[in-house]
């Protein structure tokens, strides 16, 4: 082998192998007593020179240059720390970490990152559909159900996002996750309350300690975390009749805490209907009474909706209370999130412009509003057609 001379320390080396191929090597330093190098191969010296130059540039810019044998597990571990954690909400990061550790790494983690193929990713997704779900560490019992198509879709989405970053870093020649087909997930049918059912529900919960919470969720289309994350000092203006979403309450690592809203557009100010203002005024009086009754047990958190001792409302407790309220009203069981769907459906059915509904709900795109509530659109479109007909119709 005739090694090329004249390259300085840290500039890498280029030489021709006995099999006729050219090779370039870049020193990545020492780790755990072992020297790590990155090797590039090509048919010509110019080919490997270009690869080496790109790697040197990335190294100078502080970007990672992976060893030749970096595995999928090694890369995903670094991606979670360096990319996912700083850019997503804490609860989303926890979900990413679970999908990686419980599902992706056990199946694909041993594969060399640069050699991961579309066939391997497709086989992984196909095998996971209906496969037994892995148990979370420390839960003490095995998970009884297989993975849903939705969970497998989430695994695919996380892998696609991570490999997209690997492509930007020059660690892989292509994003193989974009070349496979994830499983289809059954579409959840939206079952909003009718105007009559919504009126009956609010009448049933009148006087309930969660009456104002139900009213706000129904009238303003708040997500559960947004409603539970409201605070008196920065979220509710009863004099001005407005409500501002600044945070959401979510469980992160086993503890309820305030996090950023779901999207940038989720930060929004909503005009409150008078019925909601009245319900919130009554709720505030009730909360002050509960504070007096609790005495020294009261924990001041500033939340609008709390337990009887001032602590944040446990989502599971709210779910049980909501289910019981629906039963008392003689209505079928629903998710709390369906109140948000009811709000949007009622607004659209009343002829409110979809763009306005988008702003109220905090959707990031108008297409999300239109697609999610396409079942209500015929009513809106018919109203528009009738109005146009009133303008254009010829008088006889």
Is residue 194 within 8 Å of residue 313, measured between CB atoms? no
Arithmetic mean of pLDDT over the chain: 85
Instruction: Write the Ramachandran bin of 351: left for phi over 0, alpha for psi from -120 to 50, otherwise beta.
Output: left
Query: According to CATH, what is the number of the domain 195-383?
Result: 1.10.443.10
Q: Could you tell me the fold of the domain covering 72-179?
A: DNA polymerase; domain 1 (1.10.150)
Going through the chain in order, the beta strands assigned E by DSSP cover 13-16, 22-31, 34-42, 236-237, 242-245, 248-252, 255-259, 268-271
Predicted confidence band of residue 1 (pLDDT cuts 50, 70, 90):
very low
pLDDT on residue 139: 38
pLDDT tens digits, 339-351:
999 999 888 888 8
Q: 133 or 175: which carries more pLDDT confidence?
A: 175
Is residue 345 within 8 Å of residue 327, measured between CB atoms? no
3-state secondary structure of 240: coil
pLDDT tens digits, 168-210:
887 887 899 999 988 887 777 778 888 899 999 999 999 999 9
Q: DSSP state, 27?
A: E
Torsion of CA 329, 330, 333, 336, to 10 degrees: -20
Percent of the chain with pLDDT over 70: 87
pLDDT on residue 68: 56
Give the whole-angstrom CA distance, residue 69 versus residue 37.
10
Domains 72-179 and 195-383 fall in the same CATH topology = no
- 32: exposed, middle or buried (Cβ count in 10 Å: 0-12, 13-18, 19+): exposed
Angle at 149 between CA 144 and CA 132, to 5 degrees: 25
Predicted confidence band of residue 66 (pLDDT cuts 50, 70, 90):
low
Is residue 248 within 8 Å of residue 229, measured between CB atoms? yes
So where are the chain's domains?
13-60, 72-179, 195-383
- Residue 146 reports pLDDT greater than 80: no
Give the whole-angstrom CA distance, residue 152 versus residue 135.
16
- Residue 9 reports pLDDT greater than 70: no
């Amino acid at each position: 082998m005739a090694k090329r001379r004249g390259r300085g320390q840290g500039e890498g080396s280029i030489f021709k192998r006995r099999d006729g191929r050219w090779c370039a090597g870049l020193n990545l330093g020492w780790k755990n007593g072992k020297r790590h190098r990155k090797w590039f191969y090509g048919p010509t010296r110019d080919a490997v020179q270009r690869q080496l130059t790109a790697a040197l540039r990335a190294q100078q810019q502080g970007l990672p240059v992976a060893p030749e044998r970096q595995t999928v597990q090694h890369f995903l571990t670094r991606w979670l720390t360096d990319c996912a954690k700083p850019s997503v909400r804490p609860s989303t990061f926890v979900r990413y970490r679970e999908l990686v550790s419980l599902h992706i790494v056990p199946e694909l983690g041993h594969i060399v990152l640069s050699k991961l193929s579309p066939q391997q990713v497709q086989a992984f997704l196909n095998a996971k559909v209906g496969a037994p779900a892995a148990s979370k560490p420390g839960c003490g019992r095995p998970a009884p159900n297989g993975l849903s198509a939705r969970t497998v879709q989430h695994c695919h989405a996380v892998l696609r996002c991570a490999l997209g970053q690997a492509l930007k870093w020059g660690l892989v020649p292509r994003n193989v996750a974009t070349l496979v087909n994830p499983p289809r997930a059954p579409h959840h049918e939206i079952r909003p309350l009718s105007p009559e059912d919504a009126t009956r529900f609010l009448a049933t919960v009148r006087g309930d300690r969660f009456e104002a919470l139900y009213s706000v969720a129904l009238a303003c289309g708040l997500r559960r975390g947004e409603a539970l994350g409201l605070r008196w000092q920065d979220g509710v203006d009863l004099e001005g009749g407005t409500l501002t979403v600044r945070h959401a309450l979510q469980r992160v690592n086993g503890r309820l805490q305030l996090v950023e809203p779901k999207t940038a557009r989720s930060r929004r100010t909503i005009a409150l209907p008078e019925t909601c203002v009245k319900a919130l005024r009554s709720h505030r009086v009730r909360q002050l009474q509960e504070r007096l009754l609790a005495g020294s047990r009261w924990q001041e958190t500033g939340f609008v909706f709390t337990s009887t001792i001032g602590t944040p409302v446990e989502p599971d407790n709210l779910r049980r209370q909501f289910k019981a309220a629906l039963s008392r009203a003689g209505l079928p069981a629903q998710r709390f999130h369906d109140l948000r769907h009811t709000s949007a459906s009622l607004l659209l059915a009343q002829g409110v412009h979809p763009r306005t509904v988008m702003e109220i709900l905090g959707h990031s795109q108008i297409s999300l509003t239109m697609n999610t509530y396409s079942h209500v659109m015929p009513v809106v479109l018919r109203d528009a057609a009738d109005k146009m007909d009133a303008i254009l119709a010829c008088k006889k």
